[in-house]
Amino acid sequence: MTNATTTTTDPLIGTLLDGIDPAPLFTPFTAGELTLSNRFVMAPMTRAFSPDGVPGDDVRDYYARRAAGLGLIVTEGTYIDHPSAGSSDRIPLFYGDAALAGWKRVVDAVHAEGGRIFPQLWHLGVTRSEGAAPHPEAPVISPSGLRSDGSAKGEAASTKDIDDIIAAFVQGALDAQRIGFDGIELHGAHGYLLDQFLWSKTNRRGDRFGGSTSNRSQLAAEVVSAIRSEVGPHFPIDFRFSQWKGNDYGARIASTPEELDQILVPLVDAGVSMLHASTRRYWLPEFDDSTRTLAGWTKHLTGLPTIALGSIGVSAPFLGGDEESQSTLSIAPLVELFEQGEFDLVALGRSVMSDPEFTGKIRTGRAADIRAYEKGHESTLY
């Protein structure tokens, strides 16, 4: 595979530091019993490198290579133990003896490098392909049996479905705690199941899980509450959310700070520890008449530790084209927003996928040596 330490020829990489001292981002972070060596988080990125859903030695080594330079690793999305959760037999499972043994080896390798690691627990909901592995017989399940465009697909989740899904998330969290993970992340973003409940376009339910903005947070809150009651008061529970969806960059689960508050407060009351605000451009204001970013509003409204994400160290936003490319990759806005208290942690996606030493090169002033991310080269990255 291509050596990820090869010097890039991308001229924008040289603008990353641009006279900026990155030292504030390398300060330790503590929340409860979780202590991180710096403020950088590896964002979850699906790779489909786990045949039959079992992470192997290559997956172990992939995460271990990145552990020393990052305060926290959040794994790629892993399917919970519900038959309608997944859509591929190459994306890792988070259930079954073989998959959990593979994840145990990943945890041990990351800890050996001094890192901390959460698994991301995932259910696709309506975005699942009908008839897909690992359970082709399973129906597609979502809040209302609707795609984001309003067309019908699959089935609306019954009360039993919801109970089973909550139980599967709980079991995933318990297994993560048992095999030594440092916390968990719930995938409530990008148009997947928990997000589908949060969004009015895909949630047309008339029971306690639908209707008002706060009601649409009910399933996510019940998942958090059920997990918290089983893992105890100190095990970190991170919830990742977004406005945008994989097929709708302009989507919004909240149009005002007040609506965002109604979505997040039930999660806080249920016992969530951290919030991960996923955006395509971390520096943009989220609502009219305010300069606060989505991460900034999240921390302001909840007071919880908050992770910011969105196009850090890469030329264009996720799934964006050349027309959306940035003219500079300078982290000056990132450091400024961090020092203003908009967020506590910074998530890196494609930049750290491409170069495991990304943060080390930033810390030591070697930005020009970073191997830049190139779209379409994911299969060559290690």
Which pLDDT tens digit goes with each residue over 53-111? 999 999 999 999 999 999 999 999 999 999 999 999 999 999 999 999 999 999 999 99
Alpha-helical segments (H) within the chain: 57-67, 97-112, 159-178, 193-198, 213-216, 218-231, 257-270, 294-302, 332-339, 350-354, 358-363
Q: What percent of the chain has pLDDT over 70?
A: 93
Residue 218: which of 254, 267, 169, 177 has the closest Cα? 267
Domains of the chain plus CATH, in order, are 11-380 (3.20.20.70)
Q: Is 192 a catalytic residue?
A: yes
Other beta carbons within 10 Å of 9: 8
Quote the pLDDT of residue 210: 98
- 134: preceding bond cis by omega (within 30 degrees): yes
**Residues with pLDDT less than 70, the chain:** 1-10, 316, 318-325, 376-382
Marked catalytic residue, from 79, 192, 282, 373: 192
